[in-house]
């Protein structure tokens, strides 16, 4: 069995090159499937990269290892980034990425826990992931296990009342083995979050529910490494990390462009241009 130290790796020699390679792999997967929430995945690359490369403990050969850290991608439509990392880590062959959204493949437009090794919960019906994560965190406390649970929320997803019901519960139980990371890219499917349902003051909201809070540049691996390496932010409190990101980060014409929230039927020349901009 691979133990935790095998996965809490040293800082990659070039985090920017690592992020660019992941974005290219995500783009290739979306192109293979003919559709996908590309911009929603791109905004999460550095967050997920640091989690999987340096912070979480897991064993790809034993995805159900009881002591593994849990990562729940509550904004399940951003699954392309999780698929890229799970394939990269060896949870399943990288050839599976070529079968994204194929009838015979295991990788759908939202992650399926029953089909995909390394996926902890079937998500994409927004607002459910935090409550599932609270269940994992409570189970760890009950069984006296030291694994941690990381829940990735979208800012548009945070319109859901169930998120705040879950936050109230987590605060009440003082779950300092629970970490909520918000992909705060300031956009959702129909427009800017400030116009659809303004979340500000977001940090104060989490504090009001009993969380310790940190805010970081979600595209800065150094900042992410520092805050994620010092968990819990405060003993006896769940942690909320607000990751300020750019939707579609990495390709100028995709950034903050809601036409790329979900993309399908990409013309061959557009696909080639996208890959070229990502380094090949």
- The pLDDT value recorded for residue 224 is 98
Strand partners, 71: 150
The neighbouring-strand residues paired with 183 are 154, 243
In a domain, 3, yes or no: no
Residue 8 forms part of a structural domain: no
- The count of structural domains within the chain is 1
Token pair 């979480």 is found at: 56
pLDDT tens for each residue of the chain, 280 residues long? 334 434 444 556 689 999 999 999 999 999 999 999 999 999 999 999 999 999 999 999 999 999 999 999 999 999 999 999 999 999 999 999 999 999 999 999 999 999 999 999 999 899 999 999 999 999 999 999 999 999 999 999 999 999 999 999 999 999 999 999 999 999 998 899 999 999 999 999 999 999 999 999 999 999 999 999 999 999 999 999 999 999 999 999 999 999 999 989 889 999 999 999 998 6
In a domain, 7, yes or no: no
> Does residue 2 lie in a domain region?
no
Supply the CATH number for residue 268's domain.
Answer: 3.40.50.970
Q: What is the pLDDT of residue 11?
A: 57
Give 254: exposed, middle or buried? Use CB within 10 Å, 0-12, 13-18, 19+.
buried
Spatial neighbors of 172 by CB under 8 A, at least 6 apart, are 210
The predicted structure's pLDDT at residue 32: 95
pLDDT of residue 249: 97
Angle at 265 between CA 262 and CA 269, to 5 degrees: 110
The pLDDT score that the predictor gives to residue 66 is 97
Residue pair 98/32 in contact (Cβ under 8 Å)? The answer is yes
Helix, strand, or coil (residue 42): helix
Residue ranges making up the domain that contains 163: 17-277
Distant-in-sequence, close-in-space partners of 174: CB < 8 Å, separation ≥ 6: 210, 236, 237, 238
**pLDDT for the residue numbered 279:** 87
Please name which of 47, 237, 35 lies closest in space to residue 153, comparing C-alpha atoms: 47
Q: Evaluate whether residue 216 is within a structural domain.
A: yes
The confidence score (pLDDT) of residue 124 equals 85
Q: Which residues of 168-195 are buried (b: 16+ CB within 10 A; e: fewer)?
A: ebbbeebbbbbbbbbbbbbbbeeeebee
In this prediction, residue 280 carries a pLDDT of 61
Q: Please report the DSSP string for 95-155 in residue order.
A: GGGGGTT-TTSS--SS--TTTSTT--S---STT-HHHHHHHHHHHHHHHT----EEEEEET
DSSP assignment of 83-95: HHHHHHHTSS-GG
9 located within any domain? no
Token pair of 63 as six digits = 């995805």
Sequence-ordered list of residues with C-beta below 8 angstroms from that of 209, at least 6 positions apart, any chain: 164, 167, 168, 170, 171
Residue 4 lies in a domain: no
Q: CB neighbours (10 Å) of residue 60?
A: 18
6 within some domain: no
Burial grade of 95 (CB within 10 A; 0-12, 13-18, 19 or more): exposed
């Amino acid at each position: 069995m691979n133990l935790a130290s095998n996965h809490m790796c040293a800082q990659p020699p070039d985090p920017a090159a690592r992020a660019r390679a992941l974005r290219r792999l995500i783009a290739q997967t979306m192109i293979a499937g003919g559709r996908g929430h590309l911009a929603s995945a791109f905004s999460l690359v550095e967050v997920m990269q640091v989690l999987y490369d340096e912070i979480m403990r897991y064993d790809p050969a034993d995805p159900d290892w009881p002591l593994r850290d849990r990562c729940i991608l509550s904004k399940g439509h951003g699954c392309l980034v999780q698929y890229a990392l799970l394939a990269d880590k060896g949870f399943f062959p990288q050839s599976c990425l070529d079968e994204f959204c194929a009838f015979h493949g295991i990788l759908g437009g939202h992650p399926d826990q029953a089909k995909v090794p390394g996926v902890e919960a079937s998500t994409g019906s927004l607002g459910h992931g935090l409550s599932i994560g609270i269940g994992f965190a409570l189970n760890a406390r009950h069984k006296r296990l030291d694994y941690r649970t990381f829940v990735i929320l979208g800012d548009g997803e945070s319109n859901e009342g169930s998120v705040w019901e879950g936050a109230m519960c987590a605060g009440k139980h003082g779950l300092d083995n629970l970490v909520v990371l918000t992909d705060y890219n300031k956009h959702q499917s129909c427009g800017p979050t400030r116009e659809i349902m303004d979340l500000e003051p977001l940090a104060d909201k989490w504090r009001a529910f009993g969380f310790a809070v940190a805010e970081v540049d979600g595209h800065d691996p150094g900042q992410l490494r520092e805050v994620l390496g010092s968990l819990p932010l405060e003993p006896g409190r769940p942690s909320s990390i607000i990751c300020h990101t750019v939707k579609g980060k990495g390709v100028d014409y995709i950034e903050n462009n809601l036409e790329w929230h979900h993309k399908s039927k990409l013309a061959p020349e557009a696909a080639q241009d996208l890959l070229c901009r990502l380094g090949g």
